[in-house]
Amino acid sequence: MSWSNNEQVKRKPKTAQGISAMSKDLYLGFKFAVKHFLSYFLAMLGILLLTIIMVIVVLLFVVVPLVLFVGVPAFIVWVTTFSVEVGTLEGTIFIAIILLLVLPILGPFFVAYGSLYGMSREIIESEVTSAESAFSWYRKRALSLAGGGMIHFLISLAPFLIAIYAIFATPIPIPTDETLRMILPVGFIWVILSNGMLSLTFPGIIDGLSAAGAAKRSVRLCCRSPGRVLGSWSVFATLIGVPIMTFLDDELFDWIQIVPDSFLEPYTLLIVLLILFIVLPAMSITFSRIYLILTAQDESVYDNDDDDSEDYTIKLEVDYDES
Amino acid sequence: MTMMTARITRLSWRLITTNPKRKVSQIKEFVVISDLKTIKLLLDRTRADIVFKYLVNHEMTVKQLADAMGKKPGTVLHHVQKLNNTGIIELVRTRETTRGIVERYYRAIAREYRLGITEMMRSRTKTRAPRDPVQSTLMGLSTLGITISQADMKRAHDLLSRIMEIETKTEKLINRSDNNAFQSLPTSTRINVLKNMTKFLLSKNSTYTKLNAEWHDLLSQYLNGKS
């Protein structure tokens, strides 16, 4: 026999909700990124070096056996012919060849970026991290992080790849700059939206999920709390995207140039450094934090209050003998 | 239940301090680990300390574990994730501190872990059961000087078959796979309980007693010099 406490007091959760939750996520992201600036700076320099070495190793794995097999002069001729041939390829083969060349080169960069999330996870869970821990995540989650990056990459580019395929495969006219100017904003929205929905993929991989599992969970968590995830993502997309688009001279991107070129140009170096060493770490910290909170709510292991008191019921146990 | 038919023997108040919305299961008394990968995982000193020294006693965060063990939180986090993935420990709650840190509290799934090496070895060793256990038992008796004659062979085979059939059925009644409490007993205890209870139930089975008496009579004849 049991009953719940009749005098339950409706306590207002002390945890931030809605917009205030998002602003708290962002504030803490930047706060910790600035606080751990040196760790991130050293880690990123080290990882950048390692990544360049990895890219060279990946290329060597392809180039060395070829050179040994066919000889240097024949290899040079082959590369020249290949680049001309690729230009003439159409449809599926063209896309496949491009992906085959681009993805192995991008792989190490995805791993490098993902290992930042490992550092951020340590910060958000224990407030401590060190530059060398990035290498530990780099080593332990390399394949999954590369996979996660490729999922981001392929999903973001999927409509563009389909468009390229359609242009080559069907007799539709190649779009003019005028048409592209109209199509591009749609593609731009897709890139922002799809990457926003996948923004919790890397924290998921760091949490031990596979690349595909983490991507699925990211989409599910985003659908459950779209405001918090996409809201934070929009802030970072603006902070990173606006300066980059401003620096692009192509007329195609004129429509997005919110800030005049002349205003940002003197600060180019500063902006690049800020994006690399503050904004990117802040983004990884913010999304690691959002991931930990949303997954806890998802698994019903989240304590709603900041203090130690918990919801409780008073249960009266009565043992009796049936006679 | 009415007041006429029930007699209240004990009244007790209990304050349940866990959030009723949580899905976290209760800590088990003990768990038998017979998976080789899990055993290997626990052979690492740091991981063994995390589970047996700390998480069987309290729920703790990575930071608390790192402080207690004097290790880097990153190192502890890697170990905790491995243990969590294999299900030796579980995430029990997540709490946000005023400083914005999101603390994940982990706890061992049981107060005590026992290594089921016997079971593991048994499952790994491919022992071939005899095709006809009755026939092989009868043949095996010859090693003790009891050679059943061709004339008695059919009767002996029938008796032993029926005895073994009843024994197997009785054992199956006790050794039920859905009885988790029984299955989680240490192997030696489980075998002892199984033997003891089977013996008791068989002693209450009149058919078994009768068949056993007939079998013992036959054996006695051979032991007394029948050939």
- pLDDT tens profile A127-139: 888 888 888 898 8
* Cβ contact B42:B51 at 8 Å: yes
pLDDT of residue B80: 94
Q: Rounded to whole angstroms, how far apart are CA atoms B47 and A132?
A: 21
- Residue-range domains of chain B with CATH: 28-117 (1.10.10.10), 129-223 (no CATH)
For residue B160, pLDDT over 70 is answered with yes
A323 contacts B6? CB cut-off 8 A = yes
Residue B133: pLDDT over 70: yes
Lowest average pLDDT, out of A213-222, A247-256, B166-175, goes to A247-256
For residues B23-50, give the mean pLDDT. 82
Assembly ipTM: 0.72
The amino acid occupying position A287 is F
CA distance A123 to A117: 10
User: Residue A302: its chain B contacts at CB < 8 A?
Assistant: 93-95
> Which residues does residue B11 pair with via DSSP β-bridges, in sequence order?
A318
Q: Can you give the residue ranges of every domain in chain A?
A: 18-298
Q: How many CB atoms lie within 10 A of CB B57?
A: 11
Neighbours of A108 (CB within 10 A): 24
What are the distances in angstroms from CA A115 to CA A123, A310, B26, B72? 13, 36, 35, 17
Q: pLDDT tens-digit profile of A188-211? A: 888 889 999 999 999 999 999 999
d(CA A289, CA B94): 12
Cβ of A314 and B13 within 8 Å? yes
pLDDT at res. B115: 73
- pLDDT of B19 above 60: no
For tokens 């949490």, the residue is A207
Asked if the model's pLDDT at residue A63 lies above 90, the reply is: no
The mean per-residue pLDDT over the stretch B72-94 comes to 91
- pTM, whole model, 2 decimals? 0.66
What residues have CB less than 8 Å from A190, skipping those under 6 apart? A156, A159
Chain A within 8 Å of B97 (Cβ-Cβ)? yes
Count the neighbouring beta carbons within 10 Å of the beta carbon of residue B9: 9
CB contact under 8 Å between B93 and A301, yes or no, is yes
User: Which chain B residue is nearest to residue A28, measuring alpha carbons?
Assistant: B100
The pLDDT, as a whole number, for residue B83 is 93
Q: What is the mean pLDDT of residues B39-49?
A: 90
At residue B147, what is the residue type? T
In chain A, the percentage of residues whose pLDDT exceeds 90 is 28
Mean pLDDT for the stretch of residues A219-240? 91
Residue B109 · residue B27 · CB < 8 Å = yes
A44 or A83, greater pLDDT? A44
Interface of B with A in 60-89 (CB under 8 A): 61-63, 66, 72-75, 77-78, 81, 84-85
DSSP assigned state of A255? G
pLDDT band at A32 (very low <50, low <70, confident <90, very high): very high
